[in-house]
Amino acid sequence: MLANFSLQSALDEQRQKDLYRQLTPIRHGVTPTIDIDGKTYVNFASNDYLGLATDPQLVQAFSQAAKTIHQVGSGASHLITGHTLWHEQLDTTLAQVTGYERALTFSTGYMANVGVIQALCGKDSVIFSDKLNHASIVDGAILSRAKVMRFGHRNYSQLEQLLSQSSAKQKLIVTDHIFSMDGTIADLDALHALATRYECALMVDDAHGFGLPYQAYKKAQPQADIYIGTFGKAIGTSGAFVAGSSELIDYVTNFSRSFIYTTAMPPVLASVTKTSIAMSHTDTLRSDQLLANIKQLSQGLLQQNWQVGIDNQIPTTAIIPVVIGNNDRTLQLANALKSRGFWVSAIRPPTVPVGTARLRFCVSARHSEQQISDLLAVMQTLK
Ligand code: PMP
């Protein structure tokens, strides 16, 4: 019991609203299958979009790196003695693949978003943020003490109105590229044009795009001034980075608290991440398969008349939401899918707006055509 902290009543309230969450220990696997409590499920809940997390070549690279580097923890934060040759090589590779002047690795995407926004913005800045941006962007904005102006999801005419009314000197537009609960895509051309017209900086979080055919950067001409990519999804490892001008990276190195005051990621992880980036950027077989799988599942769901996505747009990314609305019904459907051998997330408020609870299917290149048609057959029975 913590005096005056009413933890139990808050938990009870979560239960009443069908929002109570618990951890599920997973024995093995990411995609296409996972083992839980001795049972195997086809996993449609993971961000391992290319199936690299369990790729034999990558697992081999991991154990080889462990033998060569012979060091588990980095032992310190980057600016003390934690920044090893492998971190430096990873940063160089990231600058090369993205086409930015420099890049800097963080331990997680959450920390990258929080740390970059906190470093750049202060109480005299204004942050223009898409209403569906990831929690780490929201938290970074709160931590920065800047004024935050939210615009409707991909509502760029509303954004323009807000920009035209703002007299702030320091303005930052920030957006997810692929929205994590909706699978929708930000219009970076429109945002780039607005950023130029209203003299704002543009920051794009490409957590769900980096390493995939629809990633946000165009190497020759970066649209975003500040690019965030993560490794825990298509890259199949863990960690994240910010890419931008040399000046930006120098600034973040000096002022970003979640970069400065934390232990650097293990050097083996930096090394294997570099290998994985090379694999994801050179071998198109996996990404071609991913695109085919996205098409098979999204078209199948649309044919069955599920509400796919908020605005019934045909999904083109690996995140395919089926909006149910009611929390209870969403949980029932997720449980029915589980009992038939499919692991799918029931996403509920506060992660998504009230009344838009959904099943969120994440497709991987490792799913077979059969696994997807089996899933569709089960979905048909649940209609
Ligand atoms: N941004 C977005 C859009 C995300 O979906 C996530 C992960 N859910 C993150 C940032 C955080 O990345 P990480 O898991 O590496 O902390």
Report the distance separating Cα 313 and Cα 307, nearest Å.
Answer: 9
Distance between Cα 1 and ligand 1 center (Å): 33
- Both tokens of 211, joined, read 């390493």
First to last CA, the chain: 45
CATH number of 57-282, picked from 3.30.1600.10, 3.20.20.140, 3.40.640.10, 3.40.605.10: 3.40.640.10
Report the distance separating Cα 125 and Cα 342, nearest Å.
Answer: 46
- Which of 114, 116, 129, 134 has most ligand 1 atoms within 8 Å of its beta carbon, as the pocket-test mutant? 134
Report the distance separating Cα 87 and Cα 139, nearest Å.
Answer: 26
Distance between Cα 378 and ligand 1 center (Å): 30
Residues forming CATH 3.40.640.10 domain(s) in the chain: 57-282
Beta bridge partners of residue 162, listed in sequence order: none
Report the distance separating Cα 373 and Cα 315, nearest Å.
Answer: 17
Report the distance separating Cα 177 and Cα 185, nearest Å.
Answer: 6
The 3-state DSSP class for residue 344 equals coil
* Residues at CB less than 6 angstroms from ligand 1: 108-110, 113, 134, 136, 176, 180, 205, 207-208, 230, 232, 240
Q: Are 374 and 42 in contact (CB under 8 A)?
A: yes
Q: Are 212 and 287 in contact (CB under 8 A)?
A: yes
- Mean pLDDT, consecutive 10-residue stretches, the chain (383 aa), reads 90 90 88 92 96 96 98 98 98 95 98 98 98 96 98 97 96 96 93 96 96 77 90 98 98 98 98 97 92 96 92 81 95 97 94 93 97 98 94
User: Tokens 């980095």 — which residue?
Assistant: 74
**pTM, full prediction:** 0.96
Specify the pairing of strand 357-362 against strand 319-325. antiparallel
How does DSSP classify residue 248?
A: H
- The closest alpha carbon to 119, from 219, 251, 18, belongs to 251
Residues forming CATH 3.90.1150.10 domain(s) in the chain: 24-54+284-382
Report the distance separating Cα 228 and Cα 215, nearest Å.
Answer: 11
The 3-state DSSP class for residue 228 equals strand
Q: Are 265 and 69 in contact (CB under 8 A)?
A: no
- Which of 230, 233, 262, 265 has most ligand 1 atoms within 8 Å of its beta carbon, as the pocket-test mutant? 230
Number of the ligand 1 atom closest to the C-alpha atom of 176: 3
- Which of 46, 131, 175, 180 has most ligand 1 atoms within 8 Å of its beta carbon, as the pocket-test mutant? 180
Distance between Cα 192 and ligand 1 center (Å): 22
- The closest alpha carbon to 234, from 272, 269, 274, 276, belongs to 276
Specify the pairing of strand 226-230 against strand 240-244. antiparallel
Distance between Cα 209 and ligand 1 center (Å): 11
pLDDT at 221: 62
Number of the ligand 1 atom closest to the C-alpha atom of 113: 10
User: Tokens 């599942």 — which residue?
Assistant: 297
User: Tokens 């543009």 — which residue?
Assistant: 202
* Exposure class string for 332-368: b at 16+ Cβ within 10 A, else e: ebbeebeebebbbbbbbeebbeeebbbbbbbbbbbbe
Distance between Cα 230 and ligand 1 center (Å): 7
Helix (H) or strand (E) holding 205: strand 201-205
CATH number of 24-54+284-382, picked from 1.10.10.10, 3.20.20.70, 3.90.1150.10, 3.40.50.2000: 3.90.1150.10
Single-letter code of the amino acid located at 61:
A
Helix, strand, coil percentages for the chain (3-state, nearest 5): 45, 20, 40
- Both tokens of 320, joined, read 């395919």
Helix (H) or strand (E) holding 287: helix 284-303
Helix (H) or strand (E) holding 12: helix 7-16
Distance between Cα 109 and ligand 1 center (Å): 5
Distance between Cα 124 and ligand 1 center (Å): 27
Phi, psi (degrees; rounded to nearest 5) at 86: -75, -35
